[in-house]
Amino acid sequence: MVKRSRILGCGSYLPANIVTNDDLAKRVDTSDEWIVQRTGIRSRHLAAEGELTSDLALAAAVRALEHAGVEPGSIDCIVLATTTPDNTFPATATKVQAALGAKGFALDIQAVCSGFIYALSIADNFIRTGQAKRALVIGAETFSRLLDWSDRTTCVLFGDGAGAVVLEGYDGNGNAGDRGVLSAHLHSDGSQYDLLYVDGGVSATGTAGHVRMQGQEVFRHAVSKLSSVVEEALVANGLEPAAIDWLVPHQANQRIIDGIARKLKLSTDKVVLTVDRHGNTSAASIPLALSEAVHDGRIKRGDLILMEAIGGGLAWGSALVRW
């Protein structure tokens, strides 16, 4: 028998404020056509004034717990992936922990758009080693607070939101037929640091800063690195692409997602897409998409799900999960 962590439930939250491409065209030199052609994005949700990352995370967490049918007090580990914490310290996860009345320990992790994959892997390892029995994994961002609204190459791409899953340990058989997290694969390359970064920080400038990106270079790295890490996940589990029921990718760019689907020979109706309505919500994008597909009935018990993401760092990763 092998200790595994299965997903008991998931939940999500999006701020009420929806901003369309036409809305942005009134603020910056852009157009709906320009944005859609390059990214596939048509609208995104932006947090209201005073609406914090912890507020989004808490709302998604409550819905995930309700879907899982478990009490907050049974959670002994919270891992929150975010690039936009409420405060420099303490961890935003501890605010969520207090609001829920959860026990155990809580921590933030920062891997930008790959944050949810990293957080899922960390929580899975806590469960596998016996440090936690039941974990709450959250991806939450108020990424709009990092945007330079005069830079049309970045401000049109991002949105705010949160998604969460509840993990629970159980004894599996140790093969690809098990439920839950089968494997996760993490990578980073700090030599590509300047391709996607924020030009501020506590130590550097004492400010939050704004997102800066070399878009074409990020796109090039995304295609090659995501293809490689997807293959790594399949090989690790002795599976062929045909075994995948659903691709739930990081929602950054429609063209990148389409390219990965083609390499896997997956039809478009097996790819969960929210980028058109959510934009890039960084660490929140995968759990938002996962929650949508679970709750609308597309993803069913026993389905094999491939998740993948790449973001600043550069940091990237993949995970294979059986629902």
* CATH of the domain spanning 2-172, picked from 3.40.140.10, 3.40.47.10, 3.40.50.1370, 3.60.10.10: 3.40.47.10
Q: Are 270 and 298 in contact (CB under 8 A)?
A: no
pLDDT over 70 percentage in the chain: 100
Q: Is pLDDT at 1 greater than 90 in this prediction?
A: no
Q: Please give the CATH superfamily to which domain 180-322 belongs.
A: Thiolase/Chalcone synthase (3.40.47.10)
Tens digits of residue pLDDT in 145-180:
999 999 999 999 999 999 999 999 999 999 999 999
Ordered by start, the domain boundaries in the chain are 2-172, 180-322
Q: Is the pTM of this model over 0.75?
A: yes
Q: Is the pLDDT of residue 260 over 90?
A: yes
What does pLDDT average to over the chain?
97
Q: Answer whether 2-172 and 180-322 agree in fold.
A: yes
Catalytic residue among 113, 155, 185, 253: 113
How far, CA to CA in Å, does 77 sit from each of 80, 93, 105, 130, 229?
Answer: 10, 10, 5, 11, 27
Q: What is the mean pLDDT of residues 283-306?
A: 98
280 is an active site residue: yes
Predicted pLDDT of residue 13: 98
Provide the angle, in degrees to the nearest 10, between the axes of the packed helices 285-295 and 53-68: 30
Q: What is the pLDDT of residue 107?
A: 98
The C-alpha atoms of residue 108 and residue 17 are separated, in whole angstroms, by: 26
